[in-house]
């Protein structure tokens, strides 16, 4: 059995590009972080009002779908996708309106290694950049199911699917904590910038592991932290909806994936920047950052 320190070193050793810098804490900050470190990380439903959070997330992502040129706490659109590593040749094959509303935090399709004919599920598919990107790779003989809870995102992705002839794409309204998908039926689960938003991350990983076939993969990009966030930051619904408040330490995140029955392989840090001062301060204080990773069943 590994000690916590050995485990942390092991996780850090697998993280390419790690070396995330966090500033030194003041004594007052150190005391507050230590005091709150025992608060639940992966299942934070007792910290935050889940219904209020769901409303805030839906409000924000309705705006991302309907008014992609608006001001957000995070970057959006084609230049973000290209800067993260999405291939222009593949982007050229997917609807431009989906890319306008792209709000991912990293690239992971090289880790996913999708093949023709595969069955894929995208957790939090938004307006569809990741969904259609996956659909191009699995081709007409494959199948990609996008799961989302925001009506405007689902409506936009369905409209673009129909207008651009992506018959292999299906969109399902659901929370990602309970997937209306058969067990052991999926080759690859993908997700981009979503799981940090879920108050109950253990259920999300348990569900992802349940629907994967033996040998199936979970490939994702998401926001994690280097230190546990203090309770008052984690209880702030706006910061949570902005992909900061729900970030848990990378070590806990990886442990939850493995506790769900998956084996985590490569983890790498992405060159992803937040926009607002508040978000940048959180990056500095807590080492909040984007990572991409691959895990297998």
Ligand X SMILES: C[S@@+](CC[C@H](N)C(=O)[O-])C[C@H]1O[C@@H](n2cnc3c(N)ncnc32)[C@H](O)[C@@H]1O
**Which residue ranges make up the site for ligand X (CB under 6 A)?**
57, 61, 102-104, 124-127, 129-130, 147-150, 153, 175-177, 192-194, 197-198
Q: Which of 200/269 has CB closer to ligand X?
A: 200
Q: Which of 11/156 has CB closer to ligand X?
A: 156
- Give the shortest CB-241-to-ligand X separation in angstroms: 9
Tokens linked to 20 = 């995330």
- Give the shortest CB-60-to-ligand X separation in angstroms: 8
Q: Which of 11/240 has CB closer to ligand X?
A: 240
Distance of CA 50 to the CA centre of its chain: 18
Cβ atoms of 255 and 4 closer than 8 Å: no
- Give the shortest CB-258-to-ligand X separation in angstroms: 21
Rounded distance, CA 2 to CA 181, Å? 35
Q: Which of 11/125 has CB closer to ligand X?
A: 125
Q: Which of 145/192 has CB closer to ligand X?
A: 192
Distances (CA, A) of 283 to 17, 40, 236: 16, 21, 16
Residue nearest to ligand X (CB): 124
Per residue in 239-274, is it b (16+ CB within 10 Å) or e — as a string?
bbbbbbbbbbbbbebbbbbeebebebeebbbbebeb
Beta-bridge partners for 97? none
Q: Which of 39/50 has CB closer to ligand X?
A: 50
Distances (CA, A) of 40 to 49, 122, 270: 14, 27, 26
- How many other C-beta atoms can be found within 10 angstroms of the C-beta atom of residue 116? 10
> In the Cβ-directed half-sphere of 256, how many Cα atoms lie within 13 Å?
22
Cβ atoms of 193 and 167 closer than 8 Å: no
Rounded distance, CA 178 to CA 174, Å? 7
Which residue bears the tokens 């992705």?
Answer: 157
Q: Which of 119/130 has CB closer to ligand X?
A: 130
């Amino acid at each position: 059995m590994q000690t916590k320190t050995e485990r942390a070193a092991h996780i850090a050793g697998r993280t390419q590009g790690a070396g995330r810098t966090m500033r030194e804490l003041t004594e007052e900050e150190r005391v507050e972080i230590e005091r709150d470190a025992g608060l639940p990380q992966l299942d934070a439903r007792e910290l935050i009002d889940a219904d209020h959070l769901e409303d805030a997330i839906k409000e924000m992502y309705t705006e991302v779908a309907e008014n992609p040129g608006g001001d957000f706490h995070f970057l959006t659109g084609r230049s973000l996708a290209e800067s993260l590593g999405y291939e222009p040749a593949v982007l050229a094959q997917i609807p431009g309106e989906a890319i306008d509303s792209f709000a991912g935090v990293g690239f992971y399709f090289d880790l996913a290694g999708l093949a023709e004919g595969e069955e894929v599920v995208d957790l939090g598919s938004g307006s569809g950049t990741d969904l259609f990107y996956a659909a191009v790779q699995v081709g007409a003989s494959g199948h990609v199911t996008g799961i989302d809870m925001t009506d405007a995102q689902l409506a936009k992705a369905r409209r673009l699917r129909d207008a651009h002839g992506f018959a292999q794409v299906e969109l399902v309204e659901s929370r990602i904590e309970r997937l209306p998908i058969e067990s052991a039926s999926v080759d690859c689960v993908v997700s981009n910038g979503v799981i940090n938003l879920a108050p109950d991350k253990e259920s999300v990983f348990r569900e992802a592991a349940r629907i994967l076939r033996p040998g199936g993969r979970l490939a994702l990009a998401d926001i994690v932290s280097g230190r546990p966030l203090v309770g008052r930051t984690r209880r702030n619904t706006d910061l949570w909806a902005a992909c900061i408040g729900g970030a848990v330490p990378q070590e806990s995140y990886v442990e939850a994936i493995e506790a769900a029955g998956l084996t985590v392989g490569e983890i790498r840090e992405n060159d992803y920047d937040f926009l607002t001062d508040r978000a940048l301060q959180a990056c500095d204080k807590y080492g909040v950052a984007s990572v991409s990773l691959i895990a297998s069943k």
